[in-house]
Amino acid sequence: MTTEVGSETEVKEKAEESADQPDQSEKATEETQEVASAEGEEKGKEKEGKGISKFLPTWLKKQKSLSQTSPTKEAALKEEAISVEKQEEEGPAPEVNGLADEVPEKEAVKSEQLKEKEEKPHSKASTDTEPAKEEKVDESVEKSPEETKETTEGQGVEEEKKEQEGEVQGEGEGGGGGEEGQTSIFQSPLRLVRKTKMKLVVCHVTLLDGTDFSCEVEKRAKGQFLFFKVCDHLNLLEKDYFGLTYKDNHEQTSCLDPMKEIKRQIRSNNWQFAFNVKFYPPDPSLLSEDITRYLLCLQLREDVASGRLPCSFVTHALLGSYTLQAEFGDYEPDQPRPVDFMSQLNFAPSQNKEMEEKILELHKSHRGMTPAQADAQFLENAKKLSMYGVDLHHAKDSEGVDIMLGVCANGLLVYKDRLRINRFAWPKILKISYKRNNFYIKIRPGETEQFESTVGFKLQNHRSAKRLWKVCVENHSFFRLNTPEPPTKPRFLTLGSKFRYSGRTQAQTRTASSLIDRPAPRFERTSSKRISRSLDGAPMISITEAGRDSAENGREHRLDDSKVKTVDVSPGDVEDTSAQDHDKTQDEVLKHQASISQLKRSFMEAPPPSPPQTNQWEKRLTSSPATAVRVQQQQVVSEPHAEAAAAAAAAADFTISDTKESAKTAEVEIEETVVIQEVSKATKPALITVTTDSPASAPTDQETREPEVTVQEEVAVPKDAKAAKQESVSSESESEEEAEYHPNVSVSLSHTQIPEEKEEEDKENEDETAEQNMLAPDVSSHQAETSHPAEDISGGVVESQKEDMKKNAENEKEGRETEDSTDDLMMTPEETPNGVALSEEAVAAHVEEEPEPRINGEPRPQVICYSEPPVVKTEMVTISDTFAAQKTEIATKEVPIVHTETKTITYEAAQLDGTGDGEPGVLMTAQTITSESLCTTTTTHITKTLKGGLSETRIEKRIVITGDCDIDHDKALAQAIKEAKEQHPDMSVTRVVVHKETELAEEEED
Amino acid sequence: MAALMAGFGLYTHAIVRRIPASLAKEALRTSEAEVDVDKARGEHDAYVEVLRTRLGLDVVDLPADESFPDCVFVEDAAVVCGDTALITRPGAESRRGETEAMKRALKALNLNVVEMTDENATLDGGDVLFTGREFFVGLSSRTNQRGAEILADAFKDYAVSTVPVLASLHLKSFCSMGGPGLIVIGSSEPAQKALKIMQQMSDHCYDKLTVPDDFAANCIYMNLPDKGHVLLHCTAEQYPESFKVFEKLKDYTLIPVSNMEKVKVDGALTCCSILINKKGSI
């Protein structure tokens, strides 16, 4: 059960918080305490509250923190300990035990402590881990809302109230625990959605038969929601071959990413979509249902008639004749059609009388053929066409010659004019990547060659490069993999960047469709529709239905939720925050999930791969350590969004406190980036953590490394608990305009990994890149990002730690080491000193155990890859130089998106050391963490450099805010800086860049 | 019949052309060999006889034209696939006129004739290997990219991939189809390399039959009603080692055809006929 993970992670988190980094723990505790105290939670509630605290949205904590602030810190620490205990009591107990076991003997002290604390829980908690966990999850979910209520009440925000109502119900149910609680969870998000000012949008989807289907969709709905609506309407079960497309601002047809919000993709208020075949099955006869074949036929008819699928005269005629047979039945000489009958039907781009006659002639020979048979024959012939299923993209080769790149089931085809001049089968391709407008594939060395080679192509622009890359990733995943992300190998879920194929693979869909057990559905063929039907007929679907669905699906949701939470928990301090974040996001996610899951269910009860995928994805989103980081950041910047978050009500609520006033404006989307670079110089290279102070580790290289390892371990541990963490790590991908995908890496690991830049960030990406580059002088940031997922996590931790630090300066130093030992759940800050030592040891032990998976998995190949892109450096140099203005300008230019005003503000500390690219130091680690929520994307780039005996840690945060409303930028900026300072008291803010874009028309994401 | 790409190797008609006397002296060649026109004619007669009587094809026998010493190699003048015939623009300028007679003959057969009019395009039919599922076009001294493009336009149903041909006159100087999905390939390094390229470029898997002699790899495969798999290949006298390889083919009707003289002017077995299937046509 997913739930288990969640609980475990929670526990770990607690442990981490307390033990690993006193700072963090302190913080967390503080926060929780603060919350509790601020809102005056009774002790009775305390349990819940404390347990819940993890899940509480960051903003809540923040608010609390704001109100109560530092004075309470010490007290808070104590309280924390208590709270932790309580939490443990509630659910996690069994898990705790597991953790304790995991803990190395060296840590015996810690473990003992833990055990002591655990004992209580044990006694209470039943051995059945699952139920307990579930309860926990439920409680947490529900509780979080409760807390929100409290907070909201205090603030008296209307929206919040609404949410609260929903939550209240949830609470009641939560008290019931168990199943009821589950339902409540699901319902609550829905309710939230409804009650909050949910904006409904009417989507128009052009179906393959040319008719229009319109339905209402919540404005924040994800692509999947709409897609499933359409599939439902079509009565289509084998839906994995299909997808939705839309026209972006550049009149380019783009695929609607099912996992992303529709609104953010279309970026224009044109809710017009088309339902299309996305993957052309190489052998349509293997499709299970005639209706699927029929839809494929419709697509191919269009492809043929438009010339997209070129074919000869004879083939045109043959295909046309099958179309006639399918649509009109046998040729009837007695009832001659009107003269212009044939010419009204569109069979070919260059249709003429001769062809029509040929078609009729052939039609006669199909007498007796049923429509389904005619469709099958049509497909049998169409599939043999050389361009069948080939998705063409304009490009130039290295010499600037115009070529076409064709992506298909078998690989990548290179065409010059109509000639195929090269072909790269999927097995031959080691890596697919893009950077800017370049698209690269790394080729496996052939029998005679010794080295892999990289072939580069130039696309028209960044967007097209990305689009191509995506299509490649999708096609490879769909046609070559058995499972996109095996549940056992979470890494696959590299969602950090938004993209990787999220659906089922062909293998899976075949398996699934083989289980379809329903009478062949009846469906109308085009002809009849054409004649009789008007477009208006399309049914309207209201959100309410969706809500129901989701509610029904409660179970699945639950699972997802629990998973998500679990993931979050692990990172320690961050966890708390992250958990809270989760709550926000979860709500949203939940509803979507609900709909999705429901749909899936309807399709098949247990599609093994799919649900996990979703879950993982969600995990990624919410749970990843990055998330935690971002949460904090979100707090800072996101506030402005507040109202944007209508869907994400929770976020909105918390935001309210600070910025709300400014918030409510209309539909202008604003993307805002705040980059905060912090540089701290520490004598100690050791811990990756920002904390300079920490005396813990010695400066030796080995030592330094060890700490890193430790970090990884931490990550790993959570992973062990549930691979989820790894996923999260992997998911955090670069912020740059590039992405990589390793199709071959034969084992699942390799497949999984699909780093991608964040789409939303496109605009600012360049800026980021530059800055990032600066931060990470040596190694390409990418490497760090992908290869050292653990580090990323650590980074997140670090940040959280920092926060803690600010509050509790003293203990923190030791604390960070404590992080490593996730096990020390119970560790109180005070205990930490001991814990530190232990933790180090523990760390070492962990290192041995855990690091392996990483190495085996993705990191290796990636590392190789990294070495190659020299581009990064160059770019870095160019852009990175402190001239923020320049950077932004460049960025703006390059990013085609900008439709509106762009404003860039750069604040720079004069002190900037030679931290720039040129720095001679040894790069110890570099990592980028990217996290996303509804309206914010946060990228954190942490670089550690070892110079002489000094270790320098730079943290760069980039926060992109996208919102429907006006944002008080100045306020947000001030907040962000303030936050940053608070978070990392020992570090100095060297630069702040605010890049503000108000989009009149939204850019398309590519 | 209603399926594309069905019946690979099924032919009903063949177009051949007589050998002009000018072949001996004026025909293009890559070597300095002396050609005995009479012997060559004898071989060619035997070849046509196999097509006509042994295999039962309708043979269209075009008269020789002394102004075109290479006119016997009709393959280069046109590419026929299905109902469509592409009249080529041979790479050798001296051969351009050969296409006139060919065009008339193809039109007479009621084929959909497409002409290659682009003056930048050159294409010899000997560079075109049709596998049943796709085309490979050798880019050689006689065939250029543009020619291949036009071929691709003429046969839109099929993938057309280009293969560099460096060491020999034509692509089919070292390979041909020996059956559905079976490529007969010479063992020389250039031949093997070309095969690799073809395999890489194709979505389909091909078996290969490697013969020691490149030129022996040029054979004619047919799949005829009542006769099954038919393979016209080299004689033991000419390429004994390669002959042994062919002999091992099971379930084939093996017909050794002598080609001692025409080979001197780079004429291979496939060069001397254009095979057409009129039955299966839609």
Structure confidence by residue, pLDDT tens digits, A696-730: 333 433 333 333 333 333 333 333 333 333 333 33
B134, closest residue in chain A (CA to CA)? A386
Averaged pLDDT for residues A47-60: 44
Strands (E), A488-540: none
Per-residue pLDDT tens over the stretch B41-97 = 999 999 999 999 999 999 999 999 999 999 999 999 999 999 899 999 999 999 999
Cβ atoms within 10 Å of A334's Cβ, excluding its own: 4
CB pairs under 8 A between A and B: 80
Q: Does A425 touch chain B (CB under 8 A)?
A: yes
Q: Which of A445-449, A482-486, A851-855 has the highest mean pLDDT?
A: A445-449
Residues of B in contact with A386 (CB under 8 A): 134, 157-160
Distance from CA of B206 to the nearest CA of A (A): 15
Q: Is A401 on the interface with B (CB under 8 A)?
A: no
Quickly state the pLDDT bin for B17 (edges 50, 70, 90).
very high
If one compares A239 and A957, the residue with the highest pLDDT of the two is A239
Contact at CB, B82 and A417, closer than 8 angstroms: no
Please state, in angstroms and rounded to a whole number, the distance separating the CA atoms of residues A242 and A231.
9
Catalytic residue among B81, B175, B234, B271: B271
Minimum distance, in Å, between the CA of residue B232 and any CA atom of chain A: 29
Contact at CB, B201 and A317, closer than 8 angstroms: no
Taking CA atoms, what residue in A is nearest to B83? A314
- Sort out which chain A residues have CB atoms less than 8 A from B203's CB and list them: 408, 410, 423
Q: What H or E segment, with its residue span, contains residue A976?
A: helix A969-983
- The yes-or-no verdict on residue A303 having pLDDT over 70 is yes
Buried b (16+ CB within 10 A) or exposed e, A369-398: bebbebbbbbbbbbbbbbbbbbbebebebe
Say what the pLDDT of residue B135 is. Answer: 95
Residue A763 has pLDDT above 60, yes or no: no
Task: Determine the Cα angle at A166 with ends A163 and A168, to 5°.
Answer: 105
Q: How far is A385 from chain B (nearest CA, A)?
A: 5
User: Backbone phi, then psi, for B134, in 5-degree steps?
Assistant: -165, 170
Best mutation target, A280, A300, A303, A312, to test chain B (most B CBs within 10 A):
A312
| Contacts with A416 from chain B: Cβ below 8 Å | 145
Please check whether residue A559 touches B, CB under 8 A: no
Range of lowest pLDDT (A17-31, A110-124, A209-223, A572-586)? A572-586
Mean pLDDT of A606-626: 35
CB contact B243 to A (< 8 Å)? no
Of the listed ranges A224-228, A800-804, A972-976, B214-218, the least confidently predicted one is: A800-804
Annotated catalytic residue B170: yes
- What is the spatial distance between Cα A135 and Cα A94, in angstroms, rounded to a whole number? 13
The pLDDT value recorded for residue B136 is 96
pLDDT of residue A507: 79
Q: Please answer yes or no on whether B159 and A386 come within 8 Å at the CB atom.
A: yes
Judged by CB atoms closer than 8 Å, whether chains meet at B160 and A420 is answered as: yes
Give the per-residue pLDDT at A258: 85
Contacts of residue A366 in chain B, CB cutoff 8 Å?
2
Chain B residues lying within 8 Å of A417, measured CB to CB: 149, 152
- Is the Cβ pair B84, A313 closer than 8 Å? yes
Q: Residue A478's Cα: distance from chain center in Å?
A: 19
How many CB atoms are located within 10 Å of the residue A156 CB? 9
pLDDT band of residue A270 (cuts 50, 70, 90) is confident
A422 reaches B (C-beta below 8 A): yes
The type of residue at A118 is E
Q: Is the ipTM of this complex over 0.85?
A: yes
Q: Per the CB < 8 Å rule, is B282 touching A416?
A: no
Residues in chain A with CB shorter than 8 Å from the CB of B85 are: none
How far apart are the CA of A422 and the nearest CA of chain B, in angstroms?
A: 6
**Cα–Cα distance measured from residue A1006 to residue A436, given in angstroms and rounded to the nearest whole number:** 12
Give per-residue pLDDT as tens, B173-230: 999 999 999 999 999 999 999 999 999 999 899 999 999 999 999 999 999 988 899 9
CB A905 within 8 A of CB A623: no
Q: What is the pLDDT of residue B90?
A: 95
Give the distance from residue B246's alpha carbon to the nearest chain A alpha carbon, in angstroms.
28
Task: Find which of A84-98, A164-178, A740-754, B202-216 is predicted with most confidence, using mean pLDDT.
Answer: B202-216
Burial A776-794 (b: 16+ CB within 10 A, else e): bbbbbbbbbbbbbbbbbbb
Known active-site residue B13: no
Whether A419 and B152 lie within 8 Å, measured CB to CB = yes
The partner residues of B177 in beta bridges, in order of sequence, read B183
Quote the strand ranges of A506-635, DSSP E. Answer: none
Chain B residue with Cα closest to A374: B2
B132 has a chain A CB within 8 A of its CB: no
Query: Which residue is catalytic, options B170, B175, B219, B229?
Result: B170
Q: Is B118 on the interface with A (CB under 8 A)?
A: no
Identify the pLDDT of residue A179: 38
Q: What average pLDDT does the segment A686-694 reach?
A: 33
Query: According to the per-residue pLDDT averaged within each range, which of A344-353, A434-443, A445-454, A822-831 is highest?
Result: A434-443
Nearest neighbour of A377 by CB, restricted to B2, B83, B137:
B2
Question: What was the pLDDT predicted at A868?
Answer: 33
Average pLDDT value for chain A: 55
Q: Identify which of A317, A384, A418 has the shortest CB distance to residue B149.
A: A418
Asked if B148 lies within 8 A of A410 by C-beta distance, the reply is no
Q: Which two tokens stand for residue A962?
A: 């996208």
Mean pLDDT of A570-584: 35
Q: How far apart are CA A798 and CA A794, in angstroms?
A: 6
Please judge whether B4 and A418 are an interchain contact, meaning their C-beta atoms are less than 8 angstroms apart: no
| Mean pLDDT of the A490-519 span | 67
Query: Cβ(A154)–Cβ(A39) under 8 Å?
Result: yes
Cβ neighbours of A354 in B, within 8 Å: none
Q: Which residues of A touch B84 (CB under 8 A)?
A: 312-314
| CB-based contact A157:A660 (threshold 8 Å) | yes
Interface of A with B in 291-350 (CB under 8 A): 310-315, 317-318
Residue A67 CB: number of other CB atoms within 10 A?
15
Query: Whole-angstrom distance between the N-terminal and C-terminal Cα of chain B?
Result: 7
Q: Does A373 touch chain B (CB under 8 A)?
A: no
B258-273 residue pLDDT tens: 998 888 888 899 999 9
Tell me the average pLDDT across A657-681.
32
A512 against A366, higher pLDDT: A366
Q: Residues 71..100 of B with a Cβ closer than 8 Å to A: which?
A: 82-84
* A526 band by pLDDT with thresholds 50, 70 and 90: low
CB B223 within 8 A of CB B198: no
Confidence of residue A929 (pLDDT cuts 50, 70, 90): low
Query: Over the stretch A771-782, which tens digit does the pLDDT of each residue have?
Result: 333 333 333 333
What's the pLDDT score for residue A942? 62
Q: Where are the beta strands (DSSP E) in A135-252?
A: 200-206, 212-218, 242-247
pLDDT score of A321: 93
Helix (H) or strand (E) holding A802: helix A789-807
Kindly tell me if the per-residue pLDDT of A744 is higher than 60.
no
**To the nearest whole angstrom, how far is the Cα of B43 from the nearest Cα of chain A?**
37
| pLDDT recorded at residue B176 | 96
* pLDDT confidence tier of residue A276, bands split at 50, 70 and 90: very high
